Homo-oligomer: A and B are copies of this chain.
Amino acid sequence: MPARNAFYAQSGGVTAVINTSAAGVIEAARDHPEAINTVYAGVNGILGALDEQLIDTGRESAESIAALRYTPGGAFGSARYKLKGLDENRAEYERLIEVFRAHDIGYFFYNGGGDSQDTAHKVSQLGEAMGYPITCIGVPKTVDNDLPGTDTCPGFGSVAKYIAVATREAGLDVASMAETSTRVFILETMGRHAGWIAAASALARDHEEAPPHVILLPEVALDEARFLERVRACVERIGYCVVVVSEGLRTADGRFVADQGTRDAFGHAQLGGVAPAIAAMVRERLGYKYHYAIADYLQRAARHIASATDVEQAHALGRAAVEFAVAGHNAVMPTIVRDADAPYRWHIGQVPLADVANREARMPAEYIDADNLFVTEAALRYLRPLIAGEDYPPYRDGLPEHVHLRAERVAPRCPPFRD
């Protein structure tokens, strides 16, 4: 069978290590010239295929590809763009096949979360049906850690480490000032539906009374009275309280706590910000001085404090996607299989895309404390190895150095598809 080209695309929210997976894919493809000619990367992910905007990664040096390992964000551009169902918008899938055919693309590597695995699955089905069989392999990625069938997802370990480090550092700050300043510090983390990121802050606790003291998860409705009582008791006992809260925290009636009816100067609903809502509660009901931080993109872009374990897994999964494809597998996603907690041992496995698509892995109930205000030792045992190890980027003039790719475009061969 003659070698063919590959298409690689990044999808959804980017992470500190999605480019590390890209490096894994491209480097492994270069190791298999008998099967893969060139990896074309989509400009802005799957939009790059629809718009026939392809970057020829063959024009990048080995050094540049290796440097992707240290570069956060999406080096080729990512997109929040979910292809509809086959019945609703068959034209988009047909367009993908048209572009793939024009560039002799025989492999599709889709680096994303649940939606993206669903898309990769559909493309593999449609290609078959249209007489253009294409090998579709998912590469897992999501800071939310909510993909099923894998021990963890690349991107999560690094954001978990960032949040744990930030909690420990800011906790020391608050502790040292509490007597005359801030009593309650609130750190808002990402996580609309799953509390994995907020839960990881618990790793910061190195003794019984160390921060964080309360973790508010989206899996359980906020019991305001119980929460405030916990904060009050903590401040009375040790002088301060550190609260970590997931952006997706909800009230008992299912509303986001962040949507507290707050109005801005123009009278419009002020969106976002569960931290200020929690802070207002603390001030109104307890009267404590507070501060809050909203880490937002800083947490998922923080390559400077990435987990070495996460980086290693991101790279290995990128490589494995190519190895699986070359070995004849199709419509699968490589996964992390945990062999042991401590010391952490793992190997690469795989799941069918059909089993991953559109399913969400929530935190198990046994990871949440009985009072719903912290996580359990079982959660810590699961989380601990994921943040292990540092993998510092190179620095110049005090700042991390990131690669700037040549990003040369492949000449289009198809008519335009969208305006």
Contacts of A76 in B (CB 8 A): 176
A180 to B80, CA, bound (A): 6
Is the Cβ of A173 less than 8 Å from the Cβ of B72? yes
Could you say which interface size class chain A belongs to? 35 or more
Annotate A353-366 by CB proximity to B: 1 below 8 A, 0 otherwise: 00000000000000
Q: Closest approach, in angstroms, between the C-beta of A52 and any C-beta of chain B?
A: 15
Contacts of A371 in B (CB 8 A): none
Q: Closest approach, in angstroms, between the C-beta of A364 and any C-beta of chain B?
A: 22
Those of A242-283 within 8 Å (CB) of chain B: 260-266, 268, 270, 272-273, 275-277, 280
Is the Cβ of B79 less than 8 Å from the Cβ of A179? yes
> Is A297 part of the binding interface, using a Cβ–Cβ cutoff of 8 Å?
yes
**Pick from B74, B177, B280, B301: contact of A268, CB under 8 Å:** B280
A226 to B181, CA, bound (A): 37
Contacts of A47 in B (CB 8 A): 179-180
Q: Closest approach, in angstroms, between the C-beta of A313 and any C-beta of chain B?
A: 14
Q: A263-B263, A280-B270, A293-B295 are in contact. Are A72 and B398 (CB under 8 A)?
A: no
Q: A165-B304, A173-B72, A398-B384 are in contact. Are A266 and B293 (CB under 8 A)?
A: no
Is the Cβ of A174 less than 8 Å from the Cβ of B297? yes
Is the Cβ of B398 less than 8 Å from the Cβ of A73? no
Contacts of A395 in B (CB 8 A): 390
> Is A77 part of the binding interface, using a Cβ–Cβ cutoff of 8 Å?
yes
Contacts of A309 in B (CB 8 A): 398
Is the Cβ of B294 less than 8 Å from the Cβ of A293? yes
Contacts of A272 in B (CB 8 A): 276, 291-292
Is the Cβ of A177 less than 8 Å from the Cβ of B80? yes
Is the Cβ of B176 less than 8 Å from the Cβ of A74? yes
Those of A76-118 within 8 Å (CB) of chain B: 76-81
Annotate A218-250 by CB proximity to B: 1 below 8 A, 0 otherwise: 000000000000000000000000000000000
Q: Closest approach, in angstroms, between the C-beta of A243 and any C-beta of chain B?
A: 13
Q: A173-B297, A293-B296 are in contact. Are A399 and B165 (CB under 8 A)?
A: yes
Is the Cβ of A276 less than 8 Å from the Cβ of B277? no
Those of A392-419 within 8 Å (CB) of chain B: 392, 395, 397-400, 402, 404
Annotate A157-179 by CB proximity to B: 1 below 8 A, 0 otherwise: 00001001110111111111101
> Is A13 part of the binding interface, using a Cβ–Cβ cutoff of 8 Å?
yes
> Is A303 part of the binding interface, using a Cβ–Cβ cutoff of 8 Å?
yes
Q: A79-B177, A302-B169, A399-B204 are in contact. Are A266 and B280 (CB under 8 A)?
A: yes
> Is A75 part of the binding interface, using a Cβ–Cβ cutoff of 8 Å?
yes
> Is A44 part of the binding interface, using a Cβ–Cβ cutoff of 8 Å?
yes
A294 to B294, CA, bound (A): 5
> Is A142 part of the binding interface, using a Cβ–Cβ cutoff of 8 Å?
no
Those of A370-389 within 8 Å (CB) of chain B: 384, 387-389
A398 to B311, CA, bound (A): 13
New A-B contacts (4) at CB < 8 Å, excluding given A80-B177, A165-B400? A47-B180, A77-B179, A168-B402, A295-B295
Q: Which residues of A contact B (CB under 8 A)?
A: 10, 13-14, 16, 44, 47, 71-81, 161, 164-166, 168-177, 179-182, 185, 187, 203-204, 206-207, 260-266, 268, 270, 272-273, 275-277, 280, 284, 291-298, 300-305, 307, 309, 384, 387-390, 392, 395, 397-400, 402, 404
Q: List 13 A-B contacts (CB under 8 A).
A: A47-B180, A74-B177, A79-B179, A80-B177, A161-B398, A164-B399, A187-B298, A261-B265, A262-B265, A272-B276, A293-B294, A388-B397, A389-B398
Query: What are the 7 tightest A-B residue pairs by CB atom distance, in nearest-first order?
Result: A73-B172, A74-B176, A387-B398, A293-B296, A169-B301, A173-B301, A260-B265
